[in-house]
Chain A
Amino acid sequence: MEAEVVTPQPKSEVVEVKKSKIAIIGRKIRKDWQLYTLLVLPIIYLLIFKYGPMIGNVIAFRKFVPGGSIYGEQWVGLHYFNMFINDPTFWNVFKNTLTLGALGLVFTFPMPIIFALLLNEIRSEKFKKFVQTASYLPHFLSIVIVAGMILQLTAVNGSINALVKFFTGDTISFMQQAEWFRTVYITSEIWQGMGWGAILYLAALTTIDQSLYEAAKIDGANRWKQTLHITIPGILPTIVTLLILNIGSFMAVGFEKVLLLYNPLTYETSDVISTYLYRVGLESNNFSYATAIGLFESIIGLVLVLSANTISRKLTDRSLW
């Protein structure tokens, strides 16, 4: 309708056309003003509580005095960044963060896939349902409860040590020894996430065309071959998508869990970037220094997400956006 009005206009009246475009947009906005009122509170919320702290990161470059301006007092340039680059503790926690992230990718990530494949071979729907329902349960626990359970199970008089004692005659104080922290952490991650993580794989498995299996059977492929050539390729897109997500959150190790489980005896392996900056910032009141470390971590996180996404789009044509 608008086009009819616009087309016969000579070129000299482009301005008029632009005006009418703006008028159309204006009319659209006016017509939907009620929708915009719905947006007011959410946008204010995002500005204050999400973008506010992002701007608050300027204190990484400014001297901050508790009780003073939340944006700091004066510029100090890269002072705090130089500080952590020359801080040996920082490099240790950086290494620990990478190690836990890498161990997570190698050990935690494949577990839901294996679990889903095993579950896929079960014919009894009832048994399948039961196993699945039970496997989600740990996902719904507060991390405080999870930590409580871990401490209880790994205690010197706990169940794991009952087994250790049975086989070796001795006990291990798991949570007091740096060399055990990673094992305990990764095992508990698997415990918490395996069942829940399998949901999407199980859903993908149900979408595989059953006639493919029939055809394979006629060709004489056994169940293992079918798994290798039909099942796994069938869920590969899901695996790739979740792998990108995982690589993207590589650095985001479970801050709350580490905070609840670690102690000075295990700092050597358990202390990660987020727990270190927590202590530097909130226990030693060195806000600017902690913010600089946090900003560094956030930027690495962002770069990881963006590059994982780009690589995946180029290699597999799949991306998150």
Chain B
Amino acid sequence: MQESIQYKIFKVFNVSILLLIIFLTLYPFLNVVAQSFSSEAAISSGEVNLFPKGFNIDTYKTVVADSMFWINYKNTVVYTVVGTAISMVMTTMFAYALSKRRLVGRKALTVFAVFTMFFNGGLIPNYVLINSLGMGNTMWAIVIPGAISIYNMLIMKSFFENMPEELEEAAAIDGLSQYGILLKIVLPLSKAVMATMILFYAVAHWNSWFPAFLYLDQKEMFPVTIYLRNMIAGATGTAAAGATSADNLTQLAANIKSVTMVLTILPILTIYPFVQKHFVNGVMLGSIK
């Protein structure tokens, strides 16, 4: 196959552009990591870009020693696990029942669910409702209101719909109940879609901050995203101002944000290479609908 000179030039240009895009995509991560290991003086004079300057791990030691950081971190883990478990049970029940074409009222129930994707009650009515239910300042305000993502439910539903019906008929002849069919036949055959759904929900819970910001007052209940958010909001403009000596406190003020960010992203970055293909699969499944 012959290629024109222009196309060869284009290819070189194309690879350079894509490399530049990747560099720009990864740059903020590299910058945060570099700052987290740098000295306060180097950061405030604007010398830290790609590589750490004045390398030290003092701030890591300080953050790791902060008990509130770990309490909040633990909360994030608890909210993620509990929230994902609730979401998975609810979504699976809903999607499985709606996936049965013979179900009377299936169409109406689907519309009933899908309508909530396009019209929602809005911030204030939600806030009033959650508080009037007595869920304010409890974990339930974080894990219940978003329990079912209709988008995820539709992905799961279309997956169940594509399962061969003979499987179920055979199981019914063997005397399995509907629950038995779901638990013993359908779920073991749905591991891939279940993994994708768990990841979708878990990442959403891990990253969530606004419900906690809205409904929780006690520091001991905050997830780590609020710990970080309060640090960012509180430190804006003051971090640089307080930087006069190389004393431990100013060191803290300058790069404690970077350290907290690194520690918060770390779990996601660690599992990311192994699970990203599941996310991509999820997007594909979602587009078939």
Contacts and interface: CB of A to CB of B under 8 A. Distances in A.
Interface residues of B, number: 92
B104 A135 contact: no
Nearest to B111: A321
A268 interface: no
A137 B272 contact: yes
A41 B93 contact: yes
A142 B279 contact: no
Interface in A136-170: 136-138, 140-145, 147-149, 151-153, 155-159, 161-162, 165
Q: Kindly name the residue among B25, B90, B116 whose own CB sees the greatest number of chain A CB atoms within 10 A.
A: B25
Interface stretch (B55-63, B65-73, B203-211): B203-211
Interface stretch (A7-15, A89-97, A297-305): A297-305
Contacts of B120: 50, 53-54, 298
Interface of A: 25, 28-29, 32, 34-36, 38-39, 41-43, 45-46, 48-57, 59, 64, 70, 115, 118-119, 121-122, 127, 130-131, 133-138, 140-145, 147-149, 151-153, 155-159, 161-162, 165, 191, 194-196, 199-200, 203, 217, 222-223, 248, 256, 259-260, 263, 274, 277-278, 281-282, 287, 290-291, 294-295, 297-298, 301-302, 305-306, 321
Contacts of B283: 196, 199-200
A133 B128 CA distance: 41
Contacts of B1: 217
B246 interface: no
Contact of B265 (A38, A145, A217): A145
Contacts of A137: 25-26, 29, 272
Contacts of B125: 52-57, 59, 291, 294
B113 A195 contact: no
A28 B102 contact: yes
Contacts of A136: 276, 279-280
Nearest to A242: B287
B147 interface: yes
Interface of B: 1, 3-4, 6-7, 10-11, 14-15, 17-18, 21-22, 24-29, 31-32, 35, 43-46, 49, 90, 93-94, 96-98, 100, 102-104, 109, 112-114, 116, 118-129, 132-133, 144-145, 147-148, 177-179, 182, 203, 206-210, 214, 225, 228-229, 232-233, 236, 240, 257-258, 261, 264-265, 268, 272-273, 276, 279-280, 283-284, 287
B35 A152 contact: yes
B10 A121 contact: yes
Contact of A281 (B4, B27, B123, B203): B123
Contact of B25 (A144, A165, A191): A191
A48 B114 CA distance: 15
A80 to B, nearest CB: 11
20 contacts: A34-B177, A42-B93, A43-B109, A45-B144, A45-B147, A51-B121, A70-B129, A119-B18, A122-B18, A143-B209, A147-B232, A155-B240, A191-B25, A199-B283, A274-B123, A277-B122, A281-B127, A291-B122, A294-B122, A294-B124
Given A53-B125, A70-B129, A301 B258 contact: no
A46 B148 contact: yes
A194 to B, nearest CB: 8
Given A59-B125, A194-B25, A306-B118, 19 more contacts: A32-B103, A32-B178, A42-B94, A43-B109, A45-B147, A51-B121, A53-B122, A138-B25, A141-B207, A142-B225, A147-B229, A148-B32, A151-B232, A159-B49, A223-B10, A282-B127, A287-B128, A290-B123, A305-B118
The main secondary structure of chain B at its interface with chain A is: helix
B21 to A, nearest CB: 7
B49 A162 contact: yes
User: What are the 10 closest A-B residue pairs judged by CB atoms, nearest first?
Assistant: A53-B121, A56-B125, A294-B122, A142-B207, A157-B46, A34-B178, A42-B94, A53-B125, A38-B93, A50-B116
Contacts of A134: 22, 25-26
A223 to B, nearest CB: 5
Q: Kindly name the residue among B97, B208, B228, B261 whose own CB sees the greatest number of chain A CB atoms within 10 A.
A: B97
Q: Kindly name the residue among B17, B119, B272 whose own CB sees the greatest number of chain A CB atoms within 10 A.
A: B119
Contacts of A256: 209-210
A252 to B, nearest CB: 10
B96 A38 contact: yes
